[in-house]
Structure 1
Amino acid sequence: MIFIHAAGIHNTMPRERQPDLAEELHTLTGKIYRRTDHFIQLAILGAHKAAGTRELPAQTAIYLTSGQGNISVFTRICEQRRQHNLLPKPVDFINLLSNSAGFYVASHLALDGKNLFVTHHHFPAQMALLAAQNDLRLGRQKMVLLGGVDEWIPRQELARKLLGVSPSTQLGEGSNWLLLNSEEKNALATVEVHPQLLSSSLLAALLSYAPRNTSLIFSHRFDREAVSGFMRRYPQCRLFSPEEDSGYYETHPLFTLSSFLRQEKGRLIHIDTDGNQYMIVTLANDLL
Structure 2
Amino acid sequence: MYKKIGIYATSNYHHNITNNLPSLKEQVKEACGQNIRRIDRLTQLALIGACQCNKQVAIPPQTSLYLVSMYGAFNNSLTIFKQMYQETLPPGPLKFVNTVGNAACFHISKQLALDSSSLFISRSHFLLEACIKLAHLDLSARQTTTALIGLVTEARHSIDIHRQGLNTEEATPKEVSQWMLLSYDMPGLEPMAKIIHVKEPMRFSELLAWIKMQFEQQNAYQVHLMISSNATSKKHSEVASQLGTAIKQTITSIQDSCHTLDIFNFIEQKATGPTLLIYIDTDNRDRWSAISIEK
TM-score of the superposition, structure 1-length normalised? 0.87
| Partners of 1:133 and 1:192 within 8 A in 2 | no
Distance 1:82 1:171 in 2: 33
More strand by share: 2
Across the aligned residues of Structure 1 and Structure 2, the Cα RMSD in angstroms comes to: 2.3
Superposed, 1:81-230 pairs within 5 Å as 81-163=84-166, 165=167, 170=172, 172-183=174-185, 186-209=190-213, 210=215, 211=219, 213-230=222-239
Distance 1:107 1:208 in 2: 45
Amino acid at match of 1:278: W
- Superposed displacement of residue 228, structure 1: 4.2
Distance 1:271 1:8 in 2: 21
Corresponding position: 1:260 with 2:266: yes
C-alpha distance after superposition, 1:197-227 (max 9, x if no partner): 2211111122234246411112231244533
The DSSP-based 3-state class of the residue aligned with 2:89 is coil
- Residue 16 of structure 1: aligned partner: 19
The DSSP-based 3-state class of the residue aligned with 1:214 is strand
Corresponding position: 1:52 with 2:55: yes
Number of matched pairs:
275
- Residue 278 of structure 1: aligned partner: 288
79-88 vs 61-70, which moves further? 79-88
C-alpha distance after superposition, 1:236-272 (max 9, x if no partner): 3212578xxxxx6xxx43x332211122531111111
- Superposed displacement of residue 118, structure 1: 2.0
- Superposed displacement of residue 139, structure 1: 1.1
Distance 1:4 1:170 in 2: 26
Corresponding position: 1:76 with 2:49: no
Distance 1:283 1:150 in 2: 23
| Partners of 1:46 and 1:176 within 8 A in 2 | yes
| Partners of 2:53 and 2:181 within 8 A in 1 | yes
- Residue 245 of structure 1: aligned partner: none
| Partners of 2:229 and 2:256 within 8 A in 1 | no
C-alpha distance after superposition, 1:16-48 (max 9, x if no partner): 122111012212332010111211110000001
Amino acid at match of 1:178: M
Using a 3 Å threshold, how does the CA distance of structure 1 residues 193 and 71 change in structure 2: closer, same or farther? farther
| Partners of 1:198 and 1:277 within 8 A in 2 | yes
Distance 2:53 2:168 in 1: 32
- Superposed displacement of residue 232, structure 1: 4.6
Distance 1:157 1:30 in 2: 34
Which runs of 5 or more structure 2 residues have no equivalent in the other structure? none
Distance 2:232 2:208 in 1: 18
- Superposed displacement of residue 82, structure 1: 2.1
Distance 2:143 2:199 in 1: 18
Which runs of 5 or more structure 1 residues have no equivalent in the other structure? 243-247
Amino acid at match of 1:260: F
Using a 3 Å threshold, how does the CA distance of structure 1 residues 232 and 154 change in structure 2: closer, same or farther? farther
